[in-house]
Structure 1
Amino acid sequence: MKTTIKNIGQHVGQEVLIEGWLWNKRSSGKIQFLQLRDGTGFIQGVVVKAEVPEQVFETCNQLTQESSIRVKGIVRADDRAPSGFELTVTDVELVHLANEYPITPKEHGVDFLLDHRHLWIRSPRQRAILKIRAEIIKAIRTYLDGNGFVQVDPPILTPSSCEGTTNLFHTKYFDEDAYLTQSGQLYMEAAAMALGRVYSFGPTFRAEKSKTRRHLIEFWMIEPEMAYCTHEENMAIQEGLVQHIVRHILESCKLELKAIGRDPKPLENVIAGPFPRITYDDAVKLLQEKGHDFPWGEDFGAPHETEIVQHFERPVFVEKFPAKIKAFYMQPDPDRPEVVLGADLLAPEGYGEIIGGSQRIHDLELLKQRFDEHDFGDAYNWYLDLRKYGSVPHAGFGIGLERTIAWICGLDHVRETIPFPRLLNRLYP
């Protein structure tokens, strides 16, 4: 019976067929231990010389790392095995004998591993991270789809950017200039006026010459927008989304979290209660009390975010930032116009901002004023139209997929969160 390693527990005591690859092997003379993988998981196959035809045992002797094989065997429960099961091998068919594999159990440098990323993703750790990535994506879609959101796909090629073109990738669009998008938000605002609650889910690009552990050149963003939504309601949706993601991963990825050595306790704290909220003012005071020379009106860097969030065991909202350091479209606080009705959600354990959101300006005259202040020209006149024809209070946010994965997995760098990372000075493979 053909099955997968993931479903092997359904066939205890039965002979099954696994189609996969040899991850590693070891031998103790008359017994060979094959570490098998098939994309759904890893399992050990035990080959006893006295219990298989001589040709089968000889085939196992010849196997090289990453050779593709079909393996038949009896499924046995084994508490010592990571998956809880082992395979008593009865037959092995060689599909392809692999060349000498460049990635071995020894330590390799990061550049070497990234040069061989197309092979590195086969390793247990990288496979687990990519599986968690897929489950996080599933959880995000499930939550948004289940709460009345409609997916809308904004353009990747745009004529300009209301946030400036300094960090955008330029290309030619026939006889016009065009740029790869760094956000679909403005288009999502238009879609929200048609569909109520919407979200985009796609790649974004930043030509930012940064080498920090939090930055990628190409990354994925989820950007929900909601008509008739306030700043408070916006934060409630964000909190619900993050808690849903974490709950789903804790339930569905136990083996993967174990494979990457992720302690689940900090993640369990995330779903234990509501997220704390502090104002930008209070965050500045906290930093100053901790010895940081941090003036009011500056934006937080990674060390400041780490300092702020280490006082909490779950993500924390920092809200009401100074208007001058935030995007032009954020709604001013009516009680204090120098700050905006917006918030950043900072992840614990030093991972910093994973979500940025705000209530958007819905007043036409105020938005025109912001356009004049930033000298936007005519490229986004259509955005002004949204305030001319049925404008309503509305809000939204953006969540960075790779930063969220890095936090949930407890990774040191976002380069492991995406199958083929695009970094400063790295476009291969």
Structure 2
Amino acid sequence: MSTKSVIRDVNQHVGETVTIGSWINNKRSSGKIQFLQLRDGTGYIQGVIVKSEVSEQVWDDAKSLTQESSLYVTGVIREEPRSASGYEMTVTGIEVIHITENYPITPKEHGVDFLMDHRHLWLRSNKQRAILVIRAEIIRSVRQFFDTNGFTLVDPPILTPTSAEGTTNLFHTKYFDEDAYLTQSGQLYMEAAAMALGKVYSFGPTFRAEKSKTRRHLIEFWMIEPEMAFTDHEESLRVQENFISHVVQSVLKNCRTELETVGRDISKLEQIQAPFPRITYDDAIEFLHEKGFDIPWGDDFGAPHETAIAESYDKPVFITHYPAGIKAFYMKPDPNRPEVVLCADMIAPEGYGEIIGGSQRIDDQALLEERFKEHGLSLDTYQWYMDLRQYGSVPHSGFGLGLERTVAWICGLDHVRETIAFPRTLYRLYP
């Protein structure tokens, strides 16, 4: 009798006979021995079939197997130091489930467009599987950090009547007889939740109808957005750096094999420990001028600027105190210098750009009303948001982390399209 198992757990069954539901990742033969490279979603293991030790039926069934054919394979687990997993299976039986013919993604090179058209199959490859495992670990560690540090998970709406940041880059839809939009941020709603629960966070999909084709942008992406009552800008920065340190160290601890599969330089991740360096926007402008960039004070930074700044650090770096004119209406001005706001962007090293944007929020009702007028926003539309300043207003801060950019950085990927199972980009809605 065999025990049903998965490849991830074969270390618990050394010397035992187990049955594993699997697919053929690859195979080769050396005459009287066949080597099956098996995968089951939890890992990979090699199955070895010796012709003289199995029935003719088992041997022939093994010969009929093609790439991505499915089967139940039975055999004895043994330690094998030369194997990547440290284990191997001596196959004694095979039950063929399905023989695959003409699998489109072969071991040869394929173009990106071809692979994206076959994304539903490309996910099965070693690297793509590893990326999704790392993404899942990042999500787990995100929730663990906030759940164990006094935050309450709150789900903001996906359909909203207004924009969070006053932009027109929104997906419009009809909400019965009203106009509605797919959310680009849950932040304003999280501010309301923080006034009820103290420290909160959301974790959900967001949508931006920006016609951007850069390697850092997706149309549909996931955001983690904490908001904290009775918290100033400096306190928020400490939360952010501890948060990122926790996530990176969790991935290093639990996904080292997957990081190696994607070819990540692990030594660079091992340096990601709080505290992180900080520079002001003024310092950044001066630095960029020294590097030959022609950028005036008051302009926002683009990818080349962020990359140049990040190259000076081996950790994420905070750029703080941006000009008020290039930041969102809700950011609190620096009391000592009102033309800049109490905000920060966290720039990841190695050219991955901004992964966190955050600020202390305006808590003064009169000042917020003034900002509404400056940005041409309707007070009627945002009356509920204004109520937060009218009824028990307190200092509060928050930030947002883009999950896909974070996955790209931690995995060392060239493009965010590989960071989510089915990416939505400017020209791709299929599959």
Which bin holds the TM-score, normalised by the shorter protein? over 0.9
Amino acid at match of 2:365: L
After superposition, what is the alpha-carbon deviation per residue over 1:210-254, rounded to whole angstroms, capped at 9, x for unaligned? 000000000000000000000011011111110000010000001
RMSD: 0.8
1:105 counterpart residue number: 107
1:380 aligns with 2:359: no
2:19 counterpart residue number: 17
The Cα of 1:8 is off from its aligned counterpart by 1.1
1:147 aligns with 2:159: no
After superposition, what is the alpha-carbon deviation per residue over 1:111-133, rounded to whole angstroms, capped at 9, x for unaligned? 11011101110111000000000
The Cα of 1:336 is off from its aligned counterpart by 0.5
- Any residues of structure 2 matched to 1:130-209 within 5 Å, and which? 130-209=132-211
Normalising by structure 2, we get a TM-score of 0.98
Q: Which moved more, 1:75-84 or 1:63-72?
A: 75-84
1:364 counterpart residue number: 365
Which of 124, 127, 144 aligns to 1:125? It is 127
Amino acid at match of 1:358: S
- Any residues of structure 2 matched to 1:242-281 within 5 Å, and which? 242-271=244-273, 273-281=274-282
Q: 1:253 to 1:162 in 2, by over 3 A?
A: closer
1:288 counterpart residue number: 289
SS in 1 for 2:270: helix
After superposition, what is the alpha-carbon deviation per residue over 1:161-219, rounded to whole angstroms, capped at 9, x for unaligned? 14234210000111111100000000000000000000110000000000000000000
Q: 1:332 to 1:114 in 2, by over 3 A?
A: same
Are the aligned partners of 1:221 and 1:401 in contact in 2 as well (CA < 8 Å)?
yes
Which of 30, 33, 43 aligns to 2:32? It is 30
After superposition, what is the alpha-carbon deviation per residue over 1:17-46, rounded to whole angstroms, capped at 9, x for unaligned? 111111111111111111101110111111
2:354 counterpart residue number: 353
2:327 counterpart residue number: 326
SS in 1 for 2:374: helix
User: In structure 1, what is the Cα distance between the partners aligned to 2:275 and 2:386?
Assistant: 36
Are the aligned partners of 1:162 and 1:376 in contact in 2 as well (CA < 8 Å)?
no
Number of residue-to-residue matches in the alignment = 428
Identity fraction in percent = 69
The Cα of 1:159 is off from its aligned counterpart by 0.7
2:230 counterpart residue number: 228
Amino acid at match of 2:258: E
Amino acid at match of 1:372: K
User: In structure 1, what is the Cα distance between the partners aligned to 2:16 and 2:263?
Assistant: 32
SS in 2 for 1:238: helix
2:212 counterpart residue number: 210
1:419 counterpart residue number: 421
The Cα of 1:100 is off from its aligned counterpart by 1.7
1:339 counterpart residue number: 340
Are the aligned partners of 1:162 and 1:380 in contact in 2 as well (CA < 8 Å)?
no
Are the aligned partners of 1:83 and 1:255 in contact in 2 as well (CA < 8 Å)?
no
Amino acid at match of 1:97: I
User: In structure 2, what is the Cα distance between the partners aligned to 1:235 and 1:375?
Assistant: 30
Q: 1:373 to 1:214 in 2, by over 3 A?
A: same
Which of 64, 67, 74 aligns to 1:65? It is 67
Q: 1:162 to 1:218 in 2, by over 3 A?
A: closer
SS in 2 for 1:396: strand
Q: Which runs of 5+ in 1 are unaligned?
A: none
User: In structure 1, what is the Cα distance between the partners aligned to 2:82 and 2:324?
Assistant: 57
SS in 2 for 1:70: strand
User: In structure 1, what is the Cα distance between the partners aligned to 2:41 and 2:295?
Assistant: 49
Amino acid at match of 1:343: A
- Any residues of structure 2 matched to 1:312-323 within 5 Å, and which? 312-323=313-324
Are the aligned partners of 2:164 and 2:187 in contact in 1 as well (CA < 8 Å)?
no
Amino acid at match of 2:223: M
After superposition, what is the alpha-carbon deviation per residue over 1:44-66, rounded to whole angstroms, capped at 9, x for unaligned? 11111111111001001001111
Q: 1:364 to 1:167 in 2, by over 3 A?
A: same
SS in 2 for 1:7: helix
After superposition, what is the alpha-carbon deviation per residue over 1:303-331, rounded to whole angstroms, capped at 9, x for unaligned? 10000011111111110111100000000
Are the aligned partners of 1:22 and 1:36 in contact in 2 as well (CA < 8 Å)?
yes
User: In structure 2, what is the Cα distance between the partners aligned to 1:231 and 1:316?
Assistant: 16
SS in 2 for 1:270: coil
SS in 1 for 2:325: helix
